[in-house]
Amino acid sequence: MVLFKILEKSISIVSTIILARLLSPEDFGLVAIALLIVTLLELLRAFNFDMALIHNQDATDEHYNTAWTFNIIATAVISILLICAAPLASFFYDDERLFNIFLVLSFGVFISGFENIGVVVFRKELEFRKEFAFLLGKKLIGFVVGVSLALYLKNYWALVGGTVATHAGIVLLSYYIQSYRPRLSISKAKELFGFSSWLFINNLLNFMNYKMPEAVIGKVSGTGQLGLFTVSADIAKLGSTEIVLPVNRAAYPGYAKQSHDYNALKRSFLGTLGMIALFIIPASLGIAVISPVMIPVLLGDKWNDAIPILQLLAIVGMISSFSNTQSIYMAIGKPRIMTGIFVVRLCLAIPAFIYCIYVYDLITAIMALIAISIIMIPISFWRIMKELSIDTHDIALTALRPTLSAAIMYYTLNVQINTYIGHTSETYTIIDLLILILSGAVIYSLCILILWVLSGRPHTSESHILNEIKQQYLKRVSAL
């Protein structure tokens, strides 16, 4: 899965660079508005049946068939609602282009419902090679289709068409890579909905927490500002969400198997948290500090207004990653706790964001999100610490060395930018960016290694990675 993350992030970066250079912020903003409504309506299928199937260690074919059937029903309903919403969205945002965009996207949503539910088995049975192949295939399909259409069309239709074509490609891939063939059935509906109802509520609250700001930006600041925000958010996710989600995705089946052994679950959770801290803190701070060089070099000067937005969103993503405890609460069968956490964040974050963007500006609104993200960390951990007998010292130790090492890296790179690299975007080069990235990686790696040794070489995420590197090296040597 580590290899997958490296490849996936590389593909995402290249895709963002190409699309941003071919399209304008307004193109991204326009499609972001449409996808926001699509995501809202897709909550009708946000029962996370795959999580229910993973949690149920005795799931049968009928469980899988029922989940697949309801996915199709849900996407059919969503497609109809999208068609009905097209004129309303065009009127609300005063943009006639949204009407046709909604019609095309509705077709893509309907297709997506036919994805083979059997691919869930890869995660449930910890078959990471097959999971890796499927996820990488999905990413490559989106990249090839999106970039090809952008090169040909050079407008917002490239993003729309790429979304629809990607859905179709993923459905075909799911049946090619998994031999399981689902059929229509609703025999296990009661069992699936019994577990998934809380997940649906959580997904609804999660949407309101993280997508409502986009709706506000699109209405208050326009499609141009929304485009800057969405592209900045995509880049910021490379250092946070794009790492957290696959880590939790891989960890959840293990959590589910250990749900009756809280000591083992505690060790797994702290190990996962340590791994997240080890990568997310330097990645997020790295993106924040090099953004004045990265944006003009990779995306072009027309995106320079995104620099302060990206810097702040990288910090938001880093902090929010540590309050992402949904997988562990689901593993112990208490998703309603996450519901309460999402409600608290919603009540704090959204009013603060709306007030700040109306009274001040977008930058101030994002700073408000940073403050709320900090407040949410103890709220998210309070109950799980009680359930698994984890104390504050355990949590602090997982982030101490990565935080100190990343802080040193941030300071050093900032000095390097201000002292040795040009002070205007016109003077930055790709060589400057590569030097910064390499310098950051070397500085952080050395600092984390030194601090780990000074700490007595504890059995933590650092030792796990070093052992993995050692084993791979020995395998290569023995192969020779």
**Residue showing tokens 């609104």:** 365
Residue 217 Cα to chain centre, angstroms: 20
Burial of 479 (0-12, 13-18, 19+ CB in 10 A): exposed
The residue behind tokens 């965009």 is: 101
The pLDDT, as a whole number, for residue 424 is 57
Selection from 387, 385, 356, 366 nearest residue 317 by Cα: 366
Which residue has 């959590």 as its token pair? 255
Give pLDDT, residue 192: 66
DSSP 108-150: HHHHHTTS-GGGHHHHHTT-HHHHHHHHHHHHHHHHHHHHHHH
Three-state SS for 93? coil
* Residue 335: predicted pLDDT: 72
Instruction: Report the alpha-carbon distance of residue 459 to residue 194 in Å, rounded.
Output: 40
Please say whether the beta carbons of 301 and 425 come within 8 A.
yes
Helix, strand or coil, per DSSP, at residue 82: helix
Would you kindly state where each structural domain of the chain is located, as residue ranges? 1-180
Is residue 54 within 8 A of residue 123, CB to CB? The reply is yes
In this prediction, the residues of the chain whose per-residue pLDDT falls under 50 are none
Specify whether the CB–CB gap between 310 and 287 falls below 8 A: yes
Does residue 444 come out as left (phi exceeding 0), alpha (psi in the -120 to 50 range) or beta? alpha
For residue 374, what pLDDT is reported? 92
Find out whether 56 and 102 touch, Cβ atoms under 8 Å.
Answer: no
Q: State the first-to-last Cα distance of the chain, in angstroms, to the nearest integer.
A: 26
**What letter represents residue 424's amino acid?**
T
Give residue 348's Cα distance to chain centre: 22
365 neighbors 416 (Cβ within 8 angstroms): no
- Helix (H) or strand (E) run with residue 32 in it: helix 25-41
Q: What confidence score (pLDDT) does residue 315 get?
A: 93
Q: What pLDDT is attached to residue 93?
A: 82
pLDDT for residue 354: 93
Q: Which residue in the block uniquely carries the two structure tokens 């880093």?
A: 318
136: which residues sit within 8 A by CB, 6+ positions away?
Answer: 4, 7, 8
Rounded to 5°, angle at Cα 245 from 116 and 332? 90
- Report helix, strand or coil for 395: helix
Q: Position 474: which residue type?
A: L
Between CA 448 and CA 457 the distance in angstroms is 11
Closest to 317 (Cα-Cα) out of 287, 294, 297:
287
Measured CA to CA, the distance from residue 123 to residue 54 in angstroms comes to 8
Rounded to the nearest angstrom, the gap between the alpha carbon of residue 352 and the centroid of all alpha carbons in its chain is 23
Q: Model pTM?
A: 0.74
Q: Which of 298, 285, 238 is nearest to 433 (CA)?
A: 298
